[in-house]
Amino acid sequence: MKLEPIDRALLAGEHGAAAARAMALLVRYGTACGAERFIAIESAHIDGCLYHGPSSIDFAQRFVDLGGKVRVPTTLNVAAVDVTHPGWHCGPPEVIAQQETLTRLHEQLGCLPTLTCAPYQRMARPRRGEHVAWAESNAIVFINSVLGARTDRYGDFTDLCAALTGRVPLAGLHCDEARWPAVVFDLPSIDVAGLPRDLYFAAVGYVVGRRAPGIVPYLRGLPLDANEDELKALGATGASSGALALFHAEGVTPEAADMPTGGVKAEAISPAETAAAIASLCRAAKGERVAAVCLGTPHYSIDEFAKLARTVEARHRSPETEVYVSTSREIAAAVAEDAAFDALRAFGVHIVVDTCTYLAPVVRQTSGLILTTSGKYAHYGPGNLGRRVALMTLERCIRSAETGVVAAPC
């Protein structure tokens, strides 16, 4: 690899032993990627702050011992548990202390304890064309697609090395040619698909991920008024079903107009496929008992909380069904301080911070379905939690929470 003066200085320890160690690891990583040189990044988002075992702590501790500090603004992804509500945790109790240790180590390295999978909702957002090193699948696909910034797929440990050096190999989705579409999908409209709007984007994301695993698709026919929460849902579901890291949507996403599509194979996604996607993620029968409704995968935005407040207004939750919403600390604080969200408190909504309920077990009832509006949750929840999960519209989720059993579709 061609190393610039800053790369050689980092390797030589001129910026500290921790940066030298991180750079040495990145050189090996870049060589494996076939990169010819390094580039600078403007920010990083760390997924390795989620406790998976002793190696998580060992890795961060080593850089703390070496006196490391991040060289670019760096945010933290979700943790394994909501440490502010330890009484809600239904998993191994020792994880709370282990997660607190891991978070503290990252803070010592200079990371901001945002503990959210959606830092793009409230924090400073990468600009179009800006190179960053972000981990967490939904964050990667959102900033690549919706914001037009550039990050490759960074995972645990590589993300922290990038933050400690401010450098990454010029590889993957940092490169122009890697961002060009490999397939064009013609989508059915919402009306033709015959799906409620809040299921349509999850369905499209699920099918696109399955049909174009790990490649860049160009989408034609997505509603031109698609908002960020809907694009977030599409990307997160596609990242779950097929490692989607970037999509272009004609007339919607910022790079779409610049993408070469001539000669790219075009395929149609049929209404039958989107309907089948929803059916596969919603294996529930009317009248089945509902243990909980879990929302906020990815983390809920202020707009989503406003929609939820309107939906639960003047309604009453069954005591047999819990309702949990995952979000960031910042958005949770804003909701807590605003009387406009009093309907949520009246309905008995629990707001989970720092984690996500498809990772951290909080549902106390050990039997019954978990309902969600998230395609990502419906995809991962059964494997992560060992529970049956069903994807539904928000309205149907809340009607089910009122009675404690699965409501009929509208």
Digit-coded pLDDT (tens) for 300-346: 999 999 999 999 999 999 999 999 999 999 999 999 999 999 999 99
Residues 93, 107 within the same domain: yes
Per-residue pLDDT at 123 exceeds 80: no
Mean pLDDT taken over the chain: 96
Residues 275, 299 within the same domain: no
pLDDT for 104 equals: 98
Choose the final residue of a domain: 231, 265, 280.
280
Average the pLDDT over 143-169 and give the result: 97
What distance lies between CA 327 and its chain's CA centroid? 11
Number of independent structural domains in the chain: 3
Average the pLDDT over 164-189 and give the result: 98
Name the residue type at position 409: P
Confidence band of 124 (pLDDT split at 50, 70, 90):
confident
Choose the final residue of a domain: 136, 161, 177.
177
Average the pLDDT over 13-29 and give the result: 98
Confidence band of 122 (pLDDT split at 50, 70, 90):
confident
Per-residue pLDDT at 384 exceeds 90: yes
Domain that holds residue 243: 180-280
Domain assignment present for residue 261? The answer is yes
Residues 65, 169 within the same domain: yes
Q: Please, which contacts does 338-341 make with residues 24 or more away whose CB atoms are closer than 8 Å?
A: 340/306, 340/309, 341/305, 341/306, 341/309
Average the pLDDT over 394-398 and give the result: 98
In sequence order, what are the beta bridge partners of 183? 217
Confidence band of 43 (pLDDT split at 50, 70, 90):
very high
pLDDT for 298 equals: 98
Residues 130, 29 within the same domain: yes
Name the residue type at position 194: G
Per-residue pLDDT at 106 exceeds 80: yes
pLDDT for 218 equals: 98
Domain assignment present for residue 372? The answer is yes
CB 358 within 8 A of CB 376: yes
Look at residues 324, 335, 354 and name the one whose alpha carbon lies nearest to residue 114: 354
pLDDT for 375 equals: 98
Cα 117 to Cα 45: distance, rounded to the nearest angstrom: 9
Average the pLDDT over 341-356 and give the result: 97
Domain assignment present for residue 409? The answer is no
Looking at residue 331, which CATH number applies to its domain? 3.30.499.10
Choose the final residue of a domain: 161, 177, 193.
177
Cα 405 to Cα 387: distance, rounded to the nearest angstrom: 16
Residues 311, 343 within the same domain: yes
Q: Give, in order, the Cα–Cα distances in Å from 348 to each of 46, 152, 407.
A: 32, 40, 19
pLDDT one-digit tens code per residue, 73-88: 999 999 999 988 989 9
Per-residue pLDDT at 405 exceeds 90: yes
Residues 133, 16 within the same domain: yes
Q: Tell me if residue 221 falls in helix, strand or coil.
A: coil
Per-residue pLDDT at 9 exceeds 80: yes
Domain assignment present for residue 380? The answer is yes
Domain assignment present for residue 408? The answer is no
Average the pLDDT over 268-281 and give the result: 98
pLDDT for 379 equals: 97
Cα 73 to Cα 124: distance, rounded to the nearest angstrom: 10
Confidence band of 410 (pLDDT split at 50, 70, 90):
confident
Average the pLDDT over 145-162 and give the result: 97
Cα 371 to Cα 397: distance, rounded to the nearest angstrom: 6
pTM, 2 dp: 0.96
Confidence band of 63 (pLDDT split at 50, 70, 90):
very high
Look at residues 74, 10, 1, 71 and name the one whose alpha carbon lies nearest to residue 38: 1
